[in-house]
Amino acid sequence: MIAKPKTPRFRVGIDIGGTFTDLCVLDEEAGDFFHLKVPSTPKDLTRGVMESVEAFLGEDRSPDDATFLFHATTAATNALLEQKGVDTWLVITEGFTGVYETPELGEILVGSYDYLSYPKPPLLVPQRKTIQIPERVDFRGHVVRPLDEAEARRRLSVLRDSGVEAVAVCLLFSFMNPEHERRIREMIRAVAPNADIYLSSETLPQIREYPRLATTVANAYVGPVVTRYIHRLEQALASRGLSRPLYIMQSNGGSLTSGALSKIPVQMIESGPAAGVLAAAHFGRLTGRERVISFDMGGTTAKAGIIEGGSPRIVPRFQAGPWLLSTPSLDIVEIGSGGGSIARIDKSGMLKVGPESAGAEPGPACYPGGGSAPTVTDADLALGWLDPDYFLGGKIRLDRSAAERAIAANVAEPLGLDVIAAASGIVKIVNSQMVEALRLVTVARGEDPREYVMVAFGGAGPVHAAAIAEELKIPMVIVPPLPGVTSAMGLLVSDLKRDYVQTRFADLEVVTAREVQALFETMEAEARDELGKEGIAQERIHYERSLDLRYSIQKYELGVPVGGGAVKETDKAGWRRHFDELHEQHYGSRAADQKVEIVNYRLTARVVLPKPRVPELPLSGEDPRGALKGRRRAYFDGWLDCPVYERERLQCGNRLAGPAIIEQVDSTIVMQPGHSARVDSYGNVIVEVMGERR
Amino acid sequence: MTGKIDPIVLELIQSKVTSIVEEMRVVLFHSGYSTVLRESEDGSAGLLDSRLRTIAVSKKLPLHFGSFSEIAQHLPRYYQTEELEEGDVILFNDPYSGNVTHPPDTVTLMPVFVNGALVAYSATLAHKPDLGGPRGLTAPKDLWEEGLVIPPLKYFVRGEVNREVERLVAANSRIPVETLGDLRGQVAACRVGARRAQDLCARFGAETVAEGCAELMRRVAMRLSDALKEMPDGTHEAEGVIDHDMIDLDRPRRVHVAVAKRADEILFDFSGSDEQARGAINAVPGLIKNTCYFGLMAIVDANLPFNHGFVDVVKTRFREGTIVCPRPGAAVSSYVPLAYLTSDVVLKALGEFWPERAVGSAGGGGAIRLIGTAPKSGKAWVLMELLDTALGATSTQDGVSLIHGTLGVGQFRPGPIEIHETEFPVRIVRFDVRPDSGGPGKFRGGLGCTREYQVFEDVMLPFRGKGELRSKVPPWGVFGGEPGRIGNLFVNGVEVPAKSREVHAKVGDVVRVDMNAGGGYGDPLERDALRLQISYLRFEI
């Protein structure tokens, strides 16, 4: 007798954050979500993951019912930021020890330094662990100093029995000719067979030696840590019967199998934040919005991303702590304030909020066993915005008088204010920080926030979003159904994606269509080969080609998309036109008489995964009173009596007027006076930010 | 201690003005035409109150902190407040009329109006790709040899560009399109600043904003005064030497400071400095004051925002006719070596008051220029890059290696080798840390670098002098620390004679430049074993 096999139906997303590990499962058949939060387990991240998996499977579900397993993890982030990577060595061209010592710095370090002991990004490999190899390739890829094999072997022999775990190899111009790097890999294997070896010509075959070297070193430094982590996790999942391939989120907003990621572990650094932006894009799409600001405010930080034309904005490099990494990444700005940020009076008598955070230990003053320093969460509570008895659905009981005492002693009394004025000030200041950070990703880059909607999530996001949107004149805030696990939901709508780059200079007028086509085809063959090894059929792979172009006098490039299929000679004029337009858009001028050069070829290989069907809710009436759970006083530059609603009982079509508070297990939506809101057919609360208030 | 202004509003104003000047800076570098401005980011933005007192200035270039603080002294000679109207933009570059650097930098200043009343000014300072002046070898002997001099004049009148000014500027520039484009970029940045300042006034009321800004200045002044009270009273002197002024090669020039501190008052007296130079190494007092502001900020509290509070507290004295207070008309276009040196001299004097915050001398700045002519096309090319020296050691750690001078911290770096070789007929055959170059000490000075260029066409290199004019008194150590090694220039391994003004290299020659290192802190014999081991790992000994 043959039993009819059941169709698998659970799409699983697991997102590890700094404080919590979130699980979000979509039942593709029933169209509903299972979700939960467990504390993250920094010492062994897999424990938190497995705990959440157990909680899900424990309810009588079969692991065979899983369709996809998606994962966002802090494994690479922690290894880099806490400098807990492996013992790494570096191999370079002889005579170039200065390259790694001369970092390109991102904006973050600038203007926030101690002038006398300027904090350069720490070197992940000391000079003594740098091996210099006699060899040299020139800018055309010609060998001008042959690799001295005997000498190289002699110098590499220090690696024998050294316990080295990873080696980064970065030779000058290896993106034009990788032969010497490859030969050196063989030599290293002969003396240190257990070391992971990362070549710059494979990590980032792109011109500019510092970013290529720094990115390759970071890759090597976190690589073995990440590989071990994934291996352990896959084993643990398999032992629980979950044998589907694990798809891991990358900084570029695409997922990738663990096998393909092992070459570019550094791509996992912004794993979690990228998932959040993907989720925001998804909720934007659901509500018919293509220009979205994603706003994720948690305990210690807030993150903002930009979505244009329905897709997250991508930048060619990003800042991870003090390090600038040159891998394509979603454009995410991180702000060092969140619910746990501490308010204090500085030496000039000014009220400052953050960047110090009370974190999970000791936590805000209002937490059981919390600290003595007042935080943003304490201010939210004192203002009546949070319910002390319904924080995390009542799991944690907050102590309002402890919050007020902390604010009184540390802020109100020194400033000569009453507690409520001080609490309101703390909130205004933290909101102002968010506003200024959001201005930097929009206005300062020529984008008008009035043309965007904001998708707000994270535990503290919906509490603060509407006031922030109002100041930026963003007309609408969308709060997804499960703000606390929105990033994990973002995982469920991701595609597989792998980015490739190759520098090859050419005068756009001189280069032939055939040459351009040939180079793209070589890159596509590499993608096919790499993804093929992961069991992905080649007909499922879509390719997106683009060229980085520049005027020949300039140092920096702009990316121009190139259509698929065979490149034609006539295409070149179109790229040129497109580039001139982009240049004008970005820099306010074009130089039609200037020669244009190709610098980099870029290829994105994408495998579109089937998207979950999102069920629509039946339309109900406008009256939200069915969800009313009570009323309480809350402070909006004056005490107002506000209705308090239960999010889970709101119906599609309900309309609400601010001031109002909407509570749910994982967050609280604070509606400012004058704002109105409705519940859409996907359960989103859509806040219309109206009018002007002081 | 608090005035009647709401402390929450005060902090909100602080965060807004900080963000206004940073946003202006972004606009400045994204709307200009020339790559010089965009990629070197050599410029600053500021917001001033109705009395031309600095409210906030962008943080990236410490040497520019007080750039707008001199305007108040000079502008009234040209315009009275009643003559300024909404939409006007004042332009100038004259170092003797309110610009604190040199003629290639231009200042734009825009009055901001709310309901017809002048409430503030937005201002920018930025380097121009070309405003005339010598090309290459000539050492300017006075201001008029340094390019077009622009006194404060109306570049925009009530929102309309003054075409006559543009024609004059264009006629005096080798690349007028880029130069005018960059000027327009400065105006765009001023307009952004003005609009945001108006928004701020609309939100809190112009009067509250003015009071708030004045209070912010008072707070900074108070914080500085408090820090000064903690500093022991006394007088300490320090001096540094520039090898020569690039014209009179046998005569070193000395900058001297006597810092007198009593209770919460401090005076930096530079009147003991040498007579002004004929060559262009002079610096105007406005710039020298910046080294005092910066020095105090570095020693007292690096997180303190710069505003007029510094100007109120920091007193300076100059004697006209010295290298740090030249008579109007003296050449200043090569002010940078003296500016870096003075910042180290100021830090040295301050360190005597407060040994645990003292720091060894930094290596200063430095750059290399290779000037060639393509044999086939006859087209001239210039490869110019700023190179890294190092910082001095502090009482708690070794000096930072490979970084561009104290006042430019982290700001400038050499260009990518792979880009240079793709674009120019050169091969960079070496770019190494200079091992053992940092001044020995309990904490060691930062290390300089060595860079070697093999040239494939004949080139000429202008040569300022050994070690960026600091060879006579190398970057010193403090409290027993020893000096850092000085840099130099070599062709095929042969040292370039100190008095050369220019150096020639032929096809295949190798030009090597060594950069200065930083000075040490404390007795080298006190260096502990762990530090020795760390130094060993870092390849520093």
| Half-sphere exposure of residue A449: CA atoms within 13 angstroms, side-chain side | 28
A429/B8 touch (CB, cutoff 8 Å), yes or no? yes
B410/A351 touch (CB, cutoff 8 Å), yes or no? no
The residue assigned the tokens 């890759």 is A219
Determine, yes or no, domain membership for B247: no
Task: Choose one of B178, B201, B220: the last residue of a domain.
Answer: B220
Confidence of residue B532 (pLDDT cuts 50, 70, 90): low
B185: which chain A residues are within 8 Å (Cβ-Cβ)? 588
pLDDT digits (tens, 9 = 90+) for B237-288: 999 999 999 899 999 999 999 999 999 999 999 999 999 999 999 999 999 9
pLDDT at A391: 84
Determine, yes or no, domain membership for B383: yes
In the chain, the amino acid numbered A22 is: D
User: What CA–CA distance (Å, rounded) separates B208 from A694?
Assistant: 14
Assess contact for A441 and A331: CB atoms under 8 A: yes
pLDDT digits (tens, 9 = 90+) for B95-129: 999 999 999 999 999 999 999 999 999 999 998 87
Q: Whats the size of chain A, residue-wise?
A: 694
How many Å is the Cα radius of gyration of chain B?
Answer: 23
Determine, yes or no, domain membership for B300: no
pLDDT digits (tens, 9 = 90+) for A122-133: 889 988 899 999
pLDDT at A592: 77
- Please name the residues between 168 and 207 in chain A that touch chain B, using a CB distance below 8 Å: 172-173, 207
Q: Whats the size of chain B, residue-wise?
A: 541
Determine, yes or no, domain membership for B307: no
> Dihedral through CA A471, CA A474, CA A478, CA A479, nearest 10?
-20
* CA-based nearest residue to A133, from A119, A149, A118: A149
pLDDT digits (tens, 9 = 90+) for A140-189: 999 999 999 999 999 999 999 889 999 999 999 999 999 999 999 999 99
Yes or no: domain A496-607 corresponds to CATH 3.30.1490: yes
Assess contact for B236 and B328: CB atoms under 8 A: no
> Dihedral through CA A367, CA A372, CA A373, CA A377, nearest 10?
20
> Closest partner residue to B30 among A104, A130, A587, by Cβ?
A587
Task: Choose one of B173, B193, B220: the last residue of a domain.
Answer: B220
Task: Choose one of B220, B238, B263: the last residue of a domain.
Answer: B220
pLDDT at A4: 46
Enclosing H/E stretch for B268: strand B265-269
| Helices then strands, each counted (H, E), chain A | 16, 35
For residue B509, the distance in angstroms to the closest alpha carbon of chain A comes to: 16
A95/B432 touch (CB, cutoff 8 Å), yes or no? yes
> Closest partner residue to B19 among A127, A421, A436, by Cβ?
A436
Max CA pair span of chain B? 73
Assess contact for B9 and B153: CB atoms under 8 A: no
Determine, yes or no, domain membership for B479: yes
Assess contact for A82 and A18: CB atoms under 8 A: no
* CA-based nearest residue to B40, from B131, B99, B103, B128: B128
- Whether residue B297 is predicted with pLDDT greater than 50 in this model: the reply is yes
pLDDT at B537: 56
User: What CA–CA distance (Å, rounded) separates A504 from A514?
Assistant: 14
Q: Any chain B CB within 8 A of the CB of A208?
A: yes
HEC sequence for B289-327: HHHHHHHHHHHHCCCCCCCHHHHHHEEEECCCCECCECC
- Could you tell me the sign of the dihedral formed by the alpha carbons of B132, B134, B139, B144, in that order? negative
**Which stretches of A232-378 are assigned E, i.e. beta strand?**
246-249, 255-257, 292-297, 302-308, 311-312, 314-315, 318-320, 323-325, 329-330, 332-335, 341-345, 351-357
Q: Any chain B CB within 8 A of the CB of A692?
A: no
- Burial (CB < 10 A; 0-12, 13-18, 19+), residue B396, is exposed
Kindly list the distances between the CA atom of residue B387 and the CA atoms of B304, B487, B492, B494, in Å, as whole numbers in the listed order. Answer: 29, 11, 20, 21
Q: Any chain B CB within 8 A of the CB of A128?
A: yes
B8/A113 touch (CB, cutoff 8 Å), yes or no? no
Instruction: Please give the structure tokens belonging to residue A416.
Output: 């000569």
User: What CA–CA distance (Å, rounded) separates A558 from A550?
Assistant: 6
Q: What percent of chain A has pLDDT over 90?
A: 70
Max CA pair span of chain A? 83
3 state SS of B514: strand
User: What CA–CA distance (Å, rounded) separates B483 from B445?
Assistant: 8
- Whether residue A42 is predicted with pLDDT greater than 90 in this model: the reply is no
Assess contact for B392 and B521: CB atoms under 8 A: yes
In the chain, the amino acid numbered A534 is: E
pLDDT at A1: 44
Kindly list the distances between the CA atom of residue A369 and the CA atoms of A13, A388, B321, in Å, as whole numbers in the listed order. Answer: 32, 15, 67
Pick A505 or B536 by higher pLDDT. Answer: A505
A210: which chain B residues are within 8 Å (Cβ-Cβ)? 416
B432/A446 touch (CB, cutoff 8 Å), yes or no? no
**Helix, strand, coil shares, percent, chain A, to 5:** 35, 30, 40
Other Cβ atoms less than 10 A from the Cβ of A189: the count is: 13
Question: What secondary structure letter does DSSP report for B496?
Answer: P
3 state SS of B9: helix
- Of A538-547, A626-635, B242-251, B529-538, least confident by mean pLDDT is B529-538
Yes or no: domain A10-79+228-250 corresponds to CATH 3.40.1550.10: no
Determine, yes or no, domain membership for B308: no
Q: Output the average pLDDT for chain B.
A: 91
- Whether residue A341 is predicted with pLDDT greater than 90 in this model: the reply is yes
CA-based nearest residue in chain A for residue B422: A139
Q: Which domain holds residue B365?
A: 359-541
- Of A57-66, A433-442, A583-592, least confident by mean pLDDT is A583-592
User: What CA–CA distance (Å, rounded) separates A590 from A605?
Assistant: 31
Instruction: Please give the structure tokens belonging to residue A654.
Output: 């309900």
> In total, how many domains does chain B have?
2
User: What CA–CA distance (Å, rounded) separates B122 from B108?
Assistant: 8
User: What CA–CA distance (Å, rounded) separates A684 from A630?
Assistant: 22
For residue A427, the distance in angstroms to the closest alpha carbon of chain B comes to: 10
Q: How many CB pairs under 8 A join A and B?
A: 192
- Whether residue A109 is predicted with pLDDT greater than 50 in this model: the reply is no
Instruction: Please give the structure tokens belonging to residue B417.
Output: 């080798």
> Closest partner residue to B400 among A118, A350, A446, by Cβ?
A118
- Could you tell me the sign of the dihedral formed by the alpha carbons of A664, A668, A669, A672, in that order? positive
| Half-sphere exposure of residue A353: CA atoms within 13 angstroms, side-chain side | 33
- Burial (CB < 10 A; 0-12, 13-18, 19+), residue B141, is middle
pLDDT digits (tens, 9 = 90+) for A280-311: 999 999 999 999 999 999 888 899 999 999 99
Q: What is the pTM of this model?
A: 0.91
- Please name the residues between 76 and 95 in chain A that touch chain B, using a CB distance below 8 Å: 95
